Each structure stands twice: as structure tokens, then as C-alpha cells.
Chain A
Amino acid sequence: MDTDDLTSYSRLFVRGTLVVLALAWLCWIWIPVGWDFFRGLAVHPQTAPPHFVPHQLTLVHYQQLLTGGFLTYVRNSAIVTTTSTVISIVVATLAAYSINRYNPGDGQVMMFILGMRFLPPIAVVIPLYMMFLKFHLIDSWYGLIVAYLTIGIPISTWIMLIFFRRVPVALEEACWIDGWSRLQTLRRVVLPLVAPGIASAAIITAILMWNEYTMALVLTTTNSAQTIPIYLAGFVTTRGILWGQMGAATMIAITPIIVIAFLLQERLVAGFSLEGSDG
């Protein structure tokens, strides 16, 4: 009886602590977002001392953005992000499947793939710049997509591998025995079971690409390929920070990510929790 009380109290304590920590974490994330949101709506975003919620609201910053060429950058970001994510996921799915089932080099392949991510981006981007100059890939979507694949493929392969590991080989063997080919087995059994992994890998890769700054800064020079993060950085000027437009642009920039994450929420949760998929 006493020990029951004790465990229920300690359980309550652990839960309470977790809730407080979660709330603190949420504030940590959302207060800056809220700050940007209100700068984007403020008539005088630079008031000192700053008010978190401004006294007067306006949409003029959004209007200025939409008429001032911002959409070109949104288009560049959308094309580069979508294309590099799709290619990454297709390559990563096939790669992760092969690595998982054939285990080449006793797991060393995975270290090799991930090893690239240990380098600081700037160490990769300078040689890329030299190469891209030769291939005339500077300041083009193609160049940026190729560059982004060097990040997207390793990351999504790594994520997909975790999901493939959870599909028992016996399921595939059962499918071969039933008379299906290897490719049919992949389509009928393996892919449906790693679908949450595909969703997770896609969204994580897409977020990385959408927000990428270093490579875009070095490899693009004009608005024919520059992306949203480069445009946002442009609001930090020699005459101060343009808080209003920056806030508005940030809101537009994060909207697609939030919408996608929200739509895929269930898939993602199912993907991240270790929901058993073995028969």
C-alpha cells in the first residue's frame, strides 16, 4: 500500500517535471517566432523600448514584400527544396534498403556516408564552388540542387535505415515464397511499412534544404537562384535591421513547413515512436 503511494507520487513528480520542461521548451521555441510575427504586423517595428505586442497593427510589410520581388526567392526555394528532397528520398530509400539487407563493408558504408556530415559546411562548399565554376553551375537551380543532395542523401539514407531495420526479413521472404519478385516485394510489403520513415526523412530533409544558408550564400549570386534565407539576411543592412519586412518574410518562410508538418503529424509520430511492425 505504502509503496504504491510512493510510486504514484514519484510518477506524479516525474510527470510534473516533464510538463514544466516541455512548456519551457515550447516558450524557448515560440517566443522568438511570436516576436517575428508581431514585428511583421507592427506599424513601428523599431520602437524602443520594444513592445512584444505592438500598439498599432498593419499589413504594409507584407504588401511591400509581395510587390518587392520576394516571390522570386520563394519560387527558387520551392523548386530547389522540392527537387532535392524528392531525389534524396528516392536515392535514400533504395540505398538504405540495400545497405540494410546486404550490409556492404560490415556497416562501414554508413560511417562513410555520415562522415561527410562531420565536416563543417564551409569546408565542402569552397571545393564545390571551384568545381561549379568549371561546370557553369554557379547561380543556378541545378547547381544548388546538386549541392543540396550532398546533405539530403546522407541524412535521409540514415533516417530510412532506422526504419528498414524494423521490417523483419521474414516478411520479405514470405512474400518471395508467395511468388512475388524482389521488386514487387519492395513495393507491396517493404515500402508500405517504411512509409512513416519516408515521411519523416522527407520532412527533415525538406526543412534542412528550405533553411540552408551557407551553400546558397556561396553558390548563388543573383535572384535567379537565391533562396529565402539569403533574402532574409538582406534585411540586416548597414543602416539597421528592417524588422518589419524581416518579420513578415519569416512568417511566409515558415508557413509551408508548419503546414506540411501539421498534415504529416500522425505519420511522423507513428514514425518516431517505435511502433512494432513485425507480424
Chain B
Amino acid sequence: MASITLDALRKEFADVVAVDDVELTLEDGEFLVLLGPSGCGKSTTLRMIAGLEEPTGGDLRVGSESVVAKPPAARNFAMVFQQIALYPHMSVRDNISSPLRADGIDTAAIDRQVEETARTLDIESLLDRRPGELSGGQQQRVAIGRALVREPEAFLLDEPFSKLDQKLRTQLQTELTRLQEEMGVTTVFVTHNQEEAMVLADRIAIMNDGSLEQVGTPSEVYEHPANRFVADFIGNPTMNFFDASLSEGTLSVADTTLDGVPVEGSPEVAELAARPEDLALVEEGGSFEATLEFVEMRGSTRYLICTNDAGEELTVRYDGDASVTEGERYAFAFDFGGVDLFAVDGERVSADLEAALATHST
């Protein structure tokens, strides 16, 4: 087990840059989720780490040793594939023991380790069956077993749960987190599902168009998205975006202004992004008005889906007790403490809105 460093790792296919000089260091034992929309280069990055794809440029180090020239078999990484990829002509036992037999460990030790892994994953009774006789969830457990059975330098998982139903996915996510913590193995998990990323990750690396957009803990990327792409991608329901401008310390958005905003330089603010919980339905003194289209229930939380005068859809979390009527116009206000500002180029503008609010209240 060791840290893994991606040093300007690059992959080009013909004239397409799939992975564009990615710089990333995984700490020993860390659970990192590579998150992004399909085609963003996250799977290619994982496959380069595994040795299944040869980088066009850059370096990959395990500890301090470069492994770029090593074939997959010599890297001692365990991988779980999206296609599950169990050997259909072998029993579950032979599937799980495959990495051990490749190492040439003696049979008694192999049997012991396979039984132990099977017990951990609750698939002992399936050992003598063929993969074709198992359900999707059982197959994925076996695939995880094949990865867990040895002590690899790292676990690499490529959207392993994408074909499973929600309940099974949640169950396997929990088990995976527990096993990963117990074993303390550095893990890279690729997914396009931001909720899955939030649940699993120590840190999330968000990719778009082959580049890293932001790397941070789940709460960092949620609370402080580095740019408009991350803001839009992370969070469900998604963020609400408003046209905004900032000049001489005065922020203008919708029908309201906030002055005394301390800001460095003169960034060209284009948009304000507010999460559903950063907007509130108010009796009076609202920043804008919108028509309530319908109320969406998510568990115990209610969201108001509204349309503003420009016809844009907005989502507002509603914690109030008063009943609301669909089709009515309501006033809404910003909680400036939680919103984010983005410049014309999509980058985050750091401006201390809370400081501005504080001066107002005094």
C-alpha cells in the first residue's frame, strides 16, 4: 500500500485529448472518487492507473517508483469492472482465487483465503456455482471478492454499481466503505453519479473534458464549488443560477442589491448561484417573485419548483408550516451567507458576502 501520484498524466486518442495533463496525488489509504459526466476522461484515467491504457505523456508513481512502463500484471492493483467481467467458464471459487493462483501461492493457503473472503461478502454458499447462475448483485459481490482476496497496492473500481438497483447499490456502497476502511487500501472509484460520490469519498476529484475541475472533500465541493461546472454538477436538486453583477462593492442580483462587499481586484461577476436551501419563501422584502408550479416531496423535505418572470425554473427548499398553493406568486429572498459568485469565465469569485451582511446588521 502506498500513495499514488498522477504527474501531468495525458492521453490522446487520434486528435482527441481524453485526459489533459491531470495532476493528482492520492494519500495512502485514501478513498478517492473520480466524478464527472460520461466522456469526461475519468474511466480513461482509471485505466491508465491500471495499466490497461498507455499514457501519451506524463508519469504515474506508486510511492516514489514510476510504474508507467509496467504491464497491468506487475502493478498489483485490484480492479472491479463496470461489465463485472467474471470468467463465465469458471466456478465462483476459481474466479475469486484467480489472482492468488497467478501469484503461485500454495493451494491450502488459497482455499483458506477464498473461504475467508467469501465469508466477508456473504457468498460462501455460491462458491461452486458458475457466474451465469448468479443474480447481478451476487455477481458484483464475486467481482469485489476477486479484488479483495489479495492485498493489492490499490483498489480501482470503474462504475461497479451502475447496473444495480438503488437498494442493492446502497447496500454494496456501505459494505465497500466498511471493507475499504478495515483494509486501509488506497482506492480510486469512478462514477458519474454525484450522490454515490458524496456517500463514498474521502475526497472527490471532479473531471470535465479531460481536465480536473476541482479536488476536495464532499463538503468542500458542495459548499465551495471552484467553478460554475462543479456548482452545476454537484448537488441534487441542482443549484439555481441568477444573472448578477458586482461593481464598487455593490452586488446586484434580481431586484436586490447588497453593498459593502469586500472584494479583491475587480472581478467581472456574471452569475450568482444559490442552492435550494439558500433561497427562502418570505412574506415581504423578497429579492424576486416567482410562480409556484408544484411541490416536490423528497423524504421529509419539500421543494418548491417555481418559474420566475424570465421563464427559468427555480428550486427552493421549503421548511415552513404554512400551506402553499400551486399557481400562486410568492416572494423569495437570498441567504447571502450560502451563495456563490462566478465570473464570466465560470471561475469562482471569492467575495465575503457574510462580511457585507454583518456590516448591514450593525
A: residues with CB less than 8 A from B are 168, 170-171, 173-181, 184, 188-189, 192-193, 277-279
Contact = CB atoms under 8 A, between A and B. Distances in A.
Given A174-B79, A176-B52, A176-B73, A279 B98 contact: no
Nearest to A171: B85
Given A170-B81, A170-B83, A173-B72, A178 B88 contact: no
Nearest to B77: A177
A194 to B, nearest CB: 11
A195 to B, nearest CB: 9
Which 3 pairs between the two chains have the least Cβ-Cβ distance?
A179-B102, A170-B85, A279-B86
B73 A279 contact: no
Interface of B: 50-52, 71-73, 76-79, 81-89, 98-99, 102-103, 131, 139, 146
Nearest to A277: B88
A237 B102 CA distance: 65
A174 B131 CA distance: 15
A188 B73 CA distance: 15
A166 to B, nearest CB: 11
A177 B50 contact: yes
Nearest to B81: A170
Contacts of B131: 279
A174 B73 contact: no
A176 B51 CA distance: 9
Contact of A174 (B76, B85, B139): B85
B241 to A, nearest CB: 39
A177 B72 contact: yes
Given A177-B78, A178-B99, A178-B102, A171 B73 contact: no
Nearest to A179: B102
A173 B73 contact: no
A262 B139 CA distance: 35
Contacts of B84: 279
Contacts of A193: 88-89
12 contacts: A170-B83, A171-B85, A174-B86, A174-B87, A176-B51, A177-B50, A177-B77, A177-B79, A179-B99, A179-B103, A279-B88, A279-B131
Contact of B98 (A173, A175, A192, A277): A175
A178 B89 contact: no
A236 to B, nearest CB: 49
B131 to A, nearest CB: 6
A279 B85 contact: yes
Nearest to B78: A177
Among A170, A184, A189, which residue has the most Cβ atoms of chain B within 10 A?
Answer: A170
B149 to A, nearest CB: 10
A279 B87 contact: yes
Among A171, A176, A179, which residue has the most Cβ atoms of chain B within 10 A?
Answer: A179
Given A170-B81, A279-B131, A177 B87 contact: no
Contact of A278 (B71, B77, B88, B103): B88
B87 A171 contact: yes
A180 B85 contact: no
A189 B88 CA distance: 9
B98 A178 contact: yes
A164 to B, nearest CB: 15
A176 B83 contact: no
B102 A174 contact: no
Among B50, B82, B83, B88, which residue has the most Cβ atoms of chain A within 10 A?
Answer: B88
A7 to B, nearest CB: 30
Contacts of A188: 87
A160 B185 CA distance: 41
Contacts of B82: 170
B18 to A, nearest CB: 17
B88 A180 contact: no
A173 B52 contact: yes
A175 B52 CA distance: 11
A182 to B, nearest CB: 8
B102 A173 contact: no
A189 B72 CA distance: 16
B77 to A, nearest CB: 7
Contact of B83 (A168, A179, A180): A168
A192 B89 CA distance: 7
A179 to B, nearest CB: 3
Given A173-B79, A176-B52, 4 more contacts: A168-B83, A171-B85, A279-B85, A279-B131
B85 A178 contact: no
B268 to A, nearest CB: 47
Contacts of A189: 87, 89
B101 to A, nearest CB: 8
Contacts of A170: 81-83, 85
A278 B89 CA distance: 10
Contact of A178 (B51, B52, B146): B146
Contacts of B77: 177
Nearest to B86: A279
Contacts of A176: 51-52, 71-73
Among A168, A176, A189, which residue has the most Cβ atoms of chain B within 10 A?
Answer: A176
Nearest to B79: A177
B142 to A, nearest CB: 9
Given A170-B81, A173-B52, A173-B81, A179 B76 contact: yes
A181 B87 contact: no
A192 B146 CA distance: 20
Contacts of B51: 176
